[in-house]
Structure 1
Amino acid sequence: MVVKIYLYHYFDKTIGPFVNLSELSIDEAKSILNTLKVTRPNSQCAQRHDKYVEYRHNCESIIRSEFKKKGGIINRKSPHYMVIEHSPWLSTWFENGTFIRIPIEEFDSMTISFTYGDSMPTFSPTIHDGREYRKKLYTYDEILKIIEKYGLPQDWNDDGKNGPERYIEAHVWSDETIDKYR
């Protein structure tokens, strides 16, 4: 049975889709986060800690390096972030939230990497729970096998009570398909 898979991108409709703090300097990104803490205090972004931008840059360096080792095609310094299928939790992140849903077939699978769960806790040096998918990056074919084994995290852990994985994160390393949806 063939199941159609969609990638979702959640965003604040007053800002627009595929706006990425990682494309800015650390100082610029921190300034925007500080502004969000004041102007949108109820958004998930406003809850980020003071070292978030540095941690994000470090995490992106890891996933970029791991994807290169797997032969992935990287056409961007930082990826566009999406998730496999709908995440009820992510749909609550923004005060004026909405999403874009794109069939995965529209992408070149060689330009997308995946983590089972958000990449930050996946590669966190503080999480040592021994789960198979911790500290691992996957290609499309590999993530399909992990989904077959564990299912979608949002189906068994949307509330986060069973660990940090609440969705499967997709890292899109190309603008080709994304530009059609901006």
Structure 2
Amino acid sequence: MAITYPNYNIEYLYHYYEKSNGPFLNLSDYSLQEAKGVLQNLKKNNHIMAAHRYEGYMERRIELEQMARALFEAKGGKPVRKSPHYMVVGKCAWLQSWYNNGDCIKISLKDFDKDTLSFSYGDMFPTFSCRVTDNKEYRRKIYTYKEIIHIIAKYGMPQDWNSDGQHGPERYIEVQVWDDAPLLKYIEKNNRIHKR
């Protein structure tokens, strides 16, 4: 049974990444062919979770991102980017385990314009998968900030009630960040470190 949070407020968003590569590297910023090449290189080296992506992953990702953007705009969202960066609500040890040397950035929600944040209760891939047929109300939905607060109050945080994945595909609340502005200082700092 879910632990509910009737007065839950999101304070921080979290981004997990491979420390040696740095944060906010986004496959969607490449052309389709370039992104496939990056994935092939990761597979050759069996490097991090991305090395295990299935054939057709990038095509499906592009499809989901376009759909999420359209759904978000229909609710009054104001995306700046064509495709989002990804973060999560709350800490998630499972996500950190995806990486050989995982690291995490925690950013205050106050640093974001909420009109550029959309949410899915679970990763977008299973959330919108036709193979997930349990008809839970948060399937196939993109939420605004105000809406996700109500969903968290009702169902709790997946990290608390489904940390081992035994109760469904939802393991965290995904945040689609549709603006580079609040992330630039982390990206620029990473670029300086890797140029040394």
Per the normalisation by structure 1, the TM-score is 0.95
Name the amino acid aligned to 1:158.
Answer: S
Bigger Rg, which one: 2
How far, CA to CA, are the matches of 1:46 and 1:63 in structure 2? 24
Partner of 2:19: 13
- Residues 107-126 of structure 1: pairs in structure 2 closer than 5 A: 107-126=112-131
Q: Do the aligned partners of residues 169 and 2 (structure 1) sit closer, same or farther apart at CA in structure 2, a change above 3 Å counting? A: closer
User: Residue 115 of structure 2: SS of its match in structure 1?
Assistant: helix
Q: Is the 8 A contact 2:10 2:89 kept in 1?
A: no
- Structure 2 residue 52 is the aligned partner of structure 1 residue 47: yes
Cα deviation 1:14-46 (Å, max 9, x = unaligned): 11111100111111111111111122x252111
**Distance apart, 1:126 and its partner CA:** 2.2
Partner of 2:190: none
**Distance apart, 1:105 and its partner CA:** 1.3
User: Residue 23 of structure 2: SS of its match in structure 1?
Assistant: coil
User: Residue 55 of structure 2: SS of its match in structure 1?
Assistant: coil
User: Residue 29 of structure 1: SS of its match in structure 2?
Assistant: helix
* Structure 2 gap ranges (5+): 1-6, 188-196
Correspondent of 1:160 among 158, 165, 168: 165
Per the normalisation by structure 2, the TM-score is 0.89
Partner of 2:184: 179
How far, CA to CA, are the matches of 1:144 and 1:125 in structure 2? 25
- Residues 20-169 of structure 1: pairs in structure 2 closer than 5 A: 20-39=26-45, 41=46, 43-169=48-174
Kindly report the root-mean-square deviation, in angstroms, between the aligned alpha carbons of the 2 structures: 1.2
User: Residue 65 of structure 1: SS of its match in structure 2?
Assistant: helix
User: How many aligned positions are there?
Assistant: 181
How far, CA to CA, are the matches of 1:59 and 1:24 in structure 2? 16
How far, CA to CA, are the matches of 1:42 and 1:162 in structure 2? 28
Correspondent of 2:175 among 151, 170, 173: 170
User: Residue 8 of structure 1: SS of its match in structure 2?
Assistant: strand
**Distance apart, 1:4 and its partner CA:** 5.3
Percent of aligned pairs with the same amino acid: 50
Cα deviation 1:33-61 (Å, max 9, x = unaligned): 1111122x252111110111011001101
**Distance apart, 1:127 and its partner CA:** 1.6
How far, CA to CA, are the matches of 1:38 and 1:157 in structure 2? 32
How far, CA to CA, are the matches of 1:132 and 1:161 in structure 2? 19
Q: Do the aligned partners of residues 119 and 4 (structure 1) sit closer, same or farther apart at CA in structure 2, a change above 3 Å counting? A: closer
